[in-house]
């Protein structure tokens, strides 16, 4: 049975009419054509599809549409504000913390959610928080550095 | 020099139509580009195949290569910007588009910089020379008194007398023939090439704007999911699609061996596929991970000699100590972040294909054949590719999408699930290496007999000083070089094909001899090397590492391995800690010194080395495809574990300066030493050697027993 589901997506209220048990990943990618969120493993083992629901990271390939009803969803497309890149985005660029770039949206959103809770993470904190996100290109060390740089920028209030 | 009226061939006209308006300047240095040249095997002579200067002065660089993370999007732009004297941010890259780009066999083998770089540089130099000619006419200043800089041509003595590329290009529709081809710049004059440069594609990738194949949505596109057998070799017996048909707006296509469900949403198509009831005849394969190595040896074809020198029997006679060991490695998956995906849109007699492929021109030929279209009516566009590692040299998803688009009359996307990705992967082959060798009383290697079963022969040529050696290859890594029909599923090129297995075997064996020689691994290698380039990378790595080696096993957990990968030399040193209770290894630190000839983007080379080291840890410790009776038992990352954040060691890279040598490849070399260096480090730590990759905790505990 289809249902009308209302939620906020990247700051805008939207309505989606669909089966409530469909996974959020496909609604974002196929129905809404927001393709920044990626499919990679489809079973919650890699983190590529990570988005935020009320600032909590969720694996959108495992998260049903009905779960976002009345909530705030943030995808990679919503991170840039008024044409300005988020400090995490600039730090990833600065450190060349990506290669193929396929896992990058999930990495950035996972890091974003961690920094909300822990603005001054140690390397160990970062590894623990990011451990479920896989990067086959092996950019892990650079991603850790990028997150540290972004955390410093955000604490400094320059953004 | 002469001006021609613009004489388009059909191909040219198509080209200009495709790249859009504003084509204002056009030079030709040879015969106009012909279809034959573009479809031929070699790179074209005409530099228009490589670049265009627009009315705004921006330079477009065309290459049939693709970007899958390795960074040529940036380094090729650097090479062109250098020769053409424009800033890097004025170069736009157009990659892997079969209608716009010069023919290319594909992006693999660390070949882009090495083989595509030189013609690209020549094209840039030639375009610069033509711009100087045009400026000379416009400004009334002799060519020899003009210089190109930052996208303009300046008079030497008066920098106010200048013409920008945009001005020179404006309103022009001419063909120029250069009588003499200009030389490319000497590396000492480089300002853009050789500079550490950030990736040019990163802003698109951090914002989610970068398009991968699955992100392409032509209007009315359907997602197709295809019924798959449970095992390689299993055949369809019966099928019942009645339950699937009940899903609203579902389309089911049955065509010969293919049964597909199509829907506008991929998850709905997947759900419908799950409702299809199918029965299969089981696979005839009885092989599994336990029986595979014996099977390979039993199935091996007669060996061909890869290289030999002297006489093995004479060498054996010289040996005071003899060694004989066998080395094994299991099947390894590519596991790209982005599974194989293709989108195809057929409009009239023309098909447009978007594909995650390392070989767009091969895909073009395959689609043309499937659709019965002439090749020039198939355009393959390659968006960003989410990892390749050789696994995307081929992929049936492209022809599957083509067939379904033709049958359904709609644009179709086929995107493999992770399970399909593991099932249809062309794995790095399981392989066996037997080595016999000997040392004389002066601890020199006097003979080396190398039998390679199915690894592939790359990097199997000895670079140590050995008077008597013979390297035999019994079955290659797949494709034309052998292995066909022997493995229970597809095998193929995997980042550094052949070399990972060979370097593991060679460098493990060298360490075994070093111990018998009562020498430390560095000392023993130096003692048996005269190749100065190899000695230099070894010294550079040892210097950076800063700690001294002792005869193994020292308990320190230090390992060393070196190799020559198609002209790139490297030495890697690792420091590990082994937990003897549970067999787990923690890699603390890896140092890699690499001589890759002239370096175009030092930052890019470092990224590739780091990538190789990190990814390489997977095949060292966990990556092994488990299979049985044609079934692939690993279907996702829960059981097929790849490196994670917590695995990553401290990585230090040294780029050994060698600008006189033309640039060599760097996407693969540093991964090939990982098996060897880690095996040696583990041995140094625990005094037991593991002869099989991956060195799982179970295998390490067995070795300790």
Return the C-alpha torsion angle B345, B358, B266, B351, nearest 10.
10
CA pair distance B30, B179, nearest whole angstrom:
9
Whether residues B317 and B438 fall in one domain: yes
Give alpha helix (H) positions in B90-218.
117-139, 165-169, 202-207
Which residues of chain A lie closer than 8 angstroms to B70, CB-CB?
Answer: 99
Please write the tens of the pLDDT for every residue from B179-193: 778 899 999 999 999
> What distance in Å separates residue A9's CA from the closest CA in chain B?
15
Tell me the nearest-neighbour CA distance from A102 into chain B, angstroms. Answer: 5
Same-domain status, B525 and B449: yes
Closest residue in B to A83 (Cα–Cα): B207
What integer pLDDT is reported at residue B694 of this predicted model?
98
Q: Are B376 and B399 members of one domain?
A: yes
Does B400 share its domain with B459?
A: no
Q: Is the pLDDT of residue B28 over 50?
A: no
B46 has a pLDDT exceeding 80: no
Are the beta carbons of A36 and B610 separated by less than 8 Å? Answer: no
SS3 B375: helix
Nearest to B386 among A76, A93, A100 (CB): A100
Contact A133 B645 (CB under 8 A): yes
Whether B327 and B344 map to the same domain: the answer is no
User: What pLDDT score was predicted for residue B29?
Assistant: 35
Could you give the CA distance from residue B435 to residue B418 in angstroms, rounded to a whole number?
Answer: 37
> Given an 8 Å threshold on Cβ–Cβ distance, is B386 in contact with A134?
no
> What is the reported pLDDT for B495?
97
Burial (CB count within 10 angstroms: exposed 0-12, middle 13-18, buried 19+), residue A156: exposed
Same domain (yes/no): B445, B535: yes
- Residue numbers in B near A80 (CB within 8 A): 207
What is the distance between the alpha carbons of residues B330 and B335, in angstroms, rounded to a whole number? 15
A100 vs B223: CB contact, 8 Å cut-off? no
B131 or B540: whose pLDDT is higher?
A: B540
Query: Quick check: B257 pLDDT over 90?
Result: no
Q: Is A109 found in the same domain as A54?
A: no
Does residue B49 sit in helix, strand or coil? helix
pLDDT per position as a tens digit, B467-519: 999 999 998 887 544 556 799 999 999 999 999 999 999 999 999 999 999 99
Average pLDDT over residues B137-147: 95
Predicted confidence band of residue B21 (pLDDT cuts 50, 70, 90): very low
* Nearest chain B CA: its distance from A144 CA (Å): 9
Tell whether B492 is covered by a domain: yes
Number of domains in chain B: 3
Length of chain B: 705
Nearest to A102 among B209, B387, B645 (CB): B387
pLDDT digits (tens, 9 = 90+) for B514-553: 999 999 999 999 999 999 999 999 999 999 999 999 999 9
CB-based contact B308:B471 (threshold 8 Å): yes
**Which residues between 320 and 379 in chain B have a beta carbon less than 8 angstroms from any beta carbon of chain A?**
335-339
Please indicate, yes or no, whether residues B686 and B542 belong to a single structural domain of this protein.
Answer: yes
Q: Which of B198, B337, B615 sits opposite A102 (nearest CB)?
A: B337
Domain with B400, as residue range(s), is: 213-282+340-415
Of A78, A100, A124, the one marking the end of a domain is A78
Nearest to B427 by CA among B507, B500, B354, B325: B500
CA R_g for chain B? 28
Backbone angles phi and psi of B499, in degrees to 5: -65, -40
Answer with the one of A78, A100, A119 that is the final residue of a domain.
A78
Contacts of residue A79, defined as CB under 8 A and 6 or more positions apart, other chains included, come to A85, A86, A88, A89, A108, A109, A112, B207
Domain of B474: which CATH number?
Answer: 3.30.365.10
Average pLDDT, chain B: 92
- Chain A contact set for B336 (CB, 8 A): 100, 136
Q: How high is the pLDDT of residue B1?
A: 35
Nearest CB among A42, A104, A137 relative to B387 is that of A137
Chain B environment of A85 (Cβ under 8 Å): 203, 206-207
The reply to whether residue A137 touches residue B637, judged by beta carbons under 8 angstroms, is: no
Q: Are strands B558-565 and B321-329 parallel, antiparallel or unpaired?
A: unpaired
| Distance, CA of B443 to CA of B421 (rounded, Å) | 48
pLDDT band at residue B23, thresholds of 50, 70 and 90?
A: very low
**Which of A57, A78, A99 is the C-terminal boundary of a domain?**
A78
In a domain, B48, yes or no: yes
Instruction: For residues A105 and A133, state if they share a domain.
Output: yes
Q: Are residues A119 and A65 in the same domain?
A: no
CB nearest A43 (choices: B264, B418, B643): B418
Nearest residue of B to residue A108, measured between CA atoms: B206
* Residue-wise burial string across B578-612, b where 16 or more C-beta atoms lie within 10 A, e elsewhere: beeeebebebebbbbbbbbbbbbbebbbbbbbbbb
Fill in the DSSP letter of residue B112. I
Same domain, B265 and B369: yes
Interface contact B645-A33, CB threshold 8 A: no
Instruction: Centre a 10 Å sphere on the Cβ of residue A126 and count the other Cβ atoms it contains.
Output: 23
SS (H, E, C) chain A: CCEEEEEEECCEEEEEEECCCCEHHHHHHHHCCCCCCCCCCCCCCCCCCEEEECCEEEECCCCEHHHHCCCEEECHHHCCECCECCHHHHHHHHCCCCCCCCCHHHHHHHHHHHHHHCCCCCHHHHHHHHCCCCCCCCCHHHHHHHHHHHHHHHHCCCC
> Hunting for tokens 């799982």 — which residue is that?
B696
For the ranges A129-143, B240-254, B482-496, B604-618, which has the lowest average pLDDT?
A: B482-496
Buried b (16+ CB within 10 A) or exposed e, B257-296: eebbbbbbbbbbbbbbbebbebebeebebebbeeebbebb
Kindly tell me if the per-residue pLDDT of B16 is higher than 90. Answer: no
B607 three-class SS = helix
Residue A131, CA distances (Å) to A124, A144, B302, B577 in order: 10, 11, 47, 21
Query: Which residue among B415, B438, B463 closes a domain?
Result: B415
- State whether B148 and B273 are in the same domain: no
Cα A75 to Cα A24, A37, B391, B470, distances in angstroms: 11, 7, 29, 58
CATH code of the domain covering residue A129: 1.10.150.120
Contacts for B258 with CB less than 8 Å, ≥ 6 apart: B226, B227, B400, B403, B404
Query: For residue B151, which phi and psi values (nearest 5 degrees)?
Result: 80, 15
What are B277-334's pLDDT values in tens digits?
999 999 999 999 999 999 999 999 888 999 999 999 999 999 999 999 999 999 999 9
A138–B266 CB contact, under 8 Å: no
Task: Work out the angle at residue B244's Cα, subtended by the Cα atoms of residues B242 and B250, and round it to the nearest 5 degrees.
Answer: 120
Among B368, B388, B415, where does a domain finish?
B415
C-alpha Rg value of chain A to the nearest Å: 15
Asked if B562 and B669 sit in the same domain, the reply is: yes
CB burial of residue B474 (10 Å; 0-12, 13-18, 19+): buried
User: Measured between CA atoms, how close is B685 to chain A, in angstroms?
Assistant: 25
Residue B113 DSSP code: I
* Confidence at residue B666, expressed as pLDDT on a 0 to 100 scale: 94
**Shared domain check, A107 and A72:** no
**Chain A contact for B418 (CB, 8 A cutoff):** yes
B201/A37 touch (CB, cutoff 8 Å), yes or no: no
Q: Residue A138 sits in which domain range?
A: 87-155
Q: With an 8 Å Cβ cutoff, are B387 and A22 in contact? A: no
Q: Are residues B314 and B259 in the same domain?
A: no
Give the pLDDT of residue B550: 98
Does the structure show a pLDDT above 80 at B26?
Answer: no
Q: What is the pLDDT of residue B50?
A: 83
**Residue B519, both tokens:** 């020498």
pLDDT grade for B17, boundaries at 50, 70 and 90: low
Q: Quick one: tokens of B480?
A: 């034309």
| B554 closest CA partner among B582, B527, B523 | B523
Q: Does B24 have pLDDT greater than 50? A: no
Q: Using one digit for the tens of pLDDT, what is the confidence trace for B421-454?
A: 999 999 999 999 999 999 999 999 999 999 999 9
Task: Indicate which of B413, B640, B645, B674 best probes the interface with A, i.e. most A CBs within 10 Å of its own CB.
Answer: B645
State the virtual CA torsion across B93, B97, B103, B107 in degrees, nearest 10. 70
Do B476 and B505 belong to one domain?
Answer: yes
Beta strands B468-473 and B51-53 are unpaired
Place of tokens 């240095």: B29
Nearest CB neighbour to B210, from listed A46, A101, A108: A101
A18 lies in the same domain as A54? yes
Is the per-residue pLDDT at B15 higher than 90?
no
B69 vs A100, A127, A143: nearest CB? A100
Contact at CB, B209 and A142, closer than 8 angstroms: no
Q: Which of residues 64-123 of A touch B (CB under 8 A)?
A: 75-77, 79-80, 85, 88-89, 92-94, 96, 98-105, 108
CA distance A41 to chain B (A): 5
Kindly give the confidence (pLDDT) of every residue in chain A, 159 residues in length, as a single tens digit, with 9 standing for 90 and above.
Answer: 899 999 999 999 999 999 999 999 999 999 999 999 999 999 999 999 999 999 999 999 999 999 999 999 999 999 999 999 999 999 999 999 999 999 999 999 999 999 999 999 999 999 999 999 999 999 999 999 999 999 999 998 654
Does A65 share its domain with A121? no
- For the record, the structure tokens of B258 come out as 């293919």
- SS3 category, B514: helix
Last residue of a domain, one of B354, B380, B415: B415
Phi-psi label, residue B515: left if phi above 0, alpha if psi -120 to 50, beta otherwise: alpha
Total count of domains within chain A? 2
């Amino acid at each position: 049975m289809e249902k009308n589901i209302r939620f906020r997506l990247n700051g805008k209220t939207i309505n989606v009419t669909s089966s409530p048990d469909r996974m959020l990943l496909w609604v974002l990618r196929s129905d809404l054509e927001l393709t920044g969120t990626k499919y990679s493993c489809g079973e919650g083992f890699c983190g590529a599809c990570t988005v935020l629901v009320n600032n909590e990271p969720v694996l959108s390939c495992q998260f049903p549409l009905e779960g976002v009803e009345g909530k705030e969803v943030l995808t990679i497309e919503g991170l840039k504000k008024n044409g300005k890149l988020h400090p995490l985005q600039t730090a990833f660029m600065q450190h060349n913390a990506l290669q193929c770039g396929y896992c990058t949206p999930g990495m950035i959103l996972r890091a974003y959610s961690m920094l909300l809770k822990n603005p001054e993470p140690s390397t160990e904190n970062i590894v623990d928080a990011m451990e479920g996100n896989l990067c086959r290109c092996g950019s892990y060390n650079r991603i850790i550095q990028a997150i540290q740089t972004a955390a410093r920028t955000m604490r400094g209030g320059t953004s | 020099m002469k001006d021609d009226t613009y004489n388009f061939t059909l191909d040219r006209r198509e080209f200009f139509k495709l790249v859009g308006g504003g084509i204002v300047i056009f030079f030709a240095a040879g015969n106009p580009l012909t279809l034959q040249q573009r479809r031929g095997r070699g790179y074209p002579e005409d530099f228009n195949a490589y670049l265009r200067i627009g009315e705004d002065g921006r330079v477009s660089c065309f290459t049939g290569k693709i970007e899958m993370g390795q960074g040529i999007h940036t380094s090729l732009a650097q090479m062109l910007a250098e020769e053409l004297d424009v800033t890097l941010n004025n170069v736009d890259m157009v990659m892997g588009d079969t209608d716009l780009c010069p023919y290319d066999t594909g992006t693999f083998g660390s070949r882009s910089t090495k083989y595509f770089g030189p013609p690209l540089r020549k094209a840039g130099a030639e375009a610069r020379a033509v711009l100087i000619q045009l400026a000379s006419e416009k400004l009334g200043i002799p060519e020899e008194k003009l210089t190109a800089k930052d996208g303009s041509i300046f008079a030497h003595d008066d920098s106010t007398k200048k013409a920008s590329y945009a001005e020179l290009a404006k309103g022009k529709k001419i063909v120029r023939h250069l009588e003499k081809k200009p030389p490319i710049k000497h590396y000492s004059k480089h300002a853009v090439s050789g500079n550490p440069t950030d990736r040019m594609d990163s802003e698109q990738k951090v914002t989610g704007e970068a398009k991968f194949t699955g992100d392409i949505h032509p209007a009315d596109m359907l997602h197709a999911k295809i019924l798959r057998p449970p095992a390689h070799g299993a055949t369809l017996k019966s099928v019942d699609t009645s339950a699937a048909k009940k899903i609203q707006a579902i389309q089911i296509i049955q065509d010969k061996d293919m049964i597909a469900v199509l829907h506008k949403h991929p998850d709905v198509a997947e759900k419908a596929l799950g409702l299809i009831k199918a029965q299969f005849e089981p696979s005839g394969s009885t092989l599994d991970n336990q029986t595979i190595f014996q099977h390979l040896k039993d199935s091996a074809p007669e060996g061909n000699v890869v290289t030999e020198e002297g006489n093995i029997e004479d060498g054996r006679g010289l040996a005071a100590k003899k060694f004989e060991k066998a080395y094994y490695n299991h099947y390894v998956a590519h596991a790209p972040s982005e599974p194989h995906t293709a989108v195809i849109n057929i409009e009239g007699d023309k098909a447009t294909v978007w594909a995650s492929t390392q070989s767009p021109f091969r895909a073009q030929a395959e689609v043309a054949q499937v659709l019965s279209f002439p090749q020039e009516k198939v355009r393959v566009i390659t968006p960003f590719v989410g990892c390749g590692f050789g696994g995307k040299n081929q992929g049936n998803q492209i022809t599957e999408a083509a067939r379904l688009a033709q049958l359904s009359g709609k644009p179709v996307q086929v995107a493999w699930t992770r399970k399909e990705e593991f099932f249809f992967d062309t794995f790095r082959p399981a392989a066996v290496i037997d080595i016999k060798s000997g040392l004389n009383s002066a601890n020199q290697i006097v003979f080396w007999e190398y039998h390679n079963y199915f690894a592939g022969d790359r990097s199997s040529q000895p670079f140590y000083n050995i008077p008597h050696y013979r390297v035999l290859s019994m079955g290659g890594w797949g494709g034309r070089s052998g292995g066909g029909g022997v493995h229970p599923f597809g095998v193929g090129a995997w980042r550094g094909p052949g070399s990972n297995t060979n370097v593991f075997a060679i460098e493990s064996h060298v360490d075994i001899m070093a111990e018998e020689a009562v020498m430390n691994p560095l000392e023993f290698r130096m003692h048996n090397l005269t190749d100065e380039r190899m000695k230099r990378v070894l010294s550079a790595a040892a210097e950076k590492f800063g700690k001294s080696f002792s005869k193994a096993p020292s308990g320190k957990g230090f390992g060393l391995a070196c190799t020559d990968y198609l002209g790139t030399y490297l030495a890697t040193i690792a420091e590990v800690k082994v937990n003897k209770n549970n067999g787990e290894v923690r890699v603390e630190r890896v140092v890699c010194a690499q001589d890759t000839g002239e370096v175009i983007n030092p930052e890019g080379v470092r990224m590739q080395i780091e990538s190789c080291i990190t990814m390489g840890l997977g095949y060292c410790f966990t990556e092994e495809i488990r299979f049985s009776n044609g079934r692939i038992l690993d279907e996702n990352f829960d059981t097929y574990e790849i490196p994670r954040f917590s695995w990553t060691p401290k990585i230090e890279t040294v780029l050994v300066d060698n600008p006189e040598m033309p640039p060599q490849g760097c996407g693969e070399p540093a991964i090939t030493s990982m098996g060897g260096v880690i095996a040696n480090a583990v041995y140094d730590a625990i005094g037991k050697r593991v002869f099989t990759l991956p060195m799982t905790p179970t295998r390490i505990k067995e070795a300790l027993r």
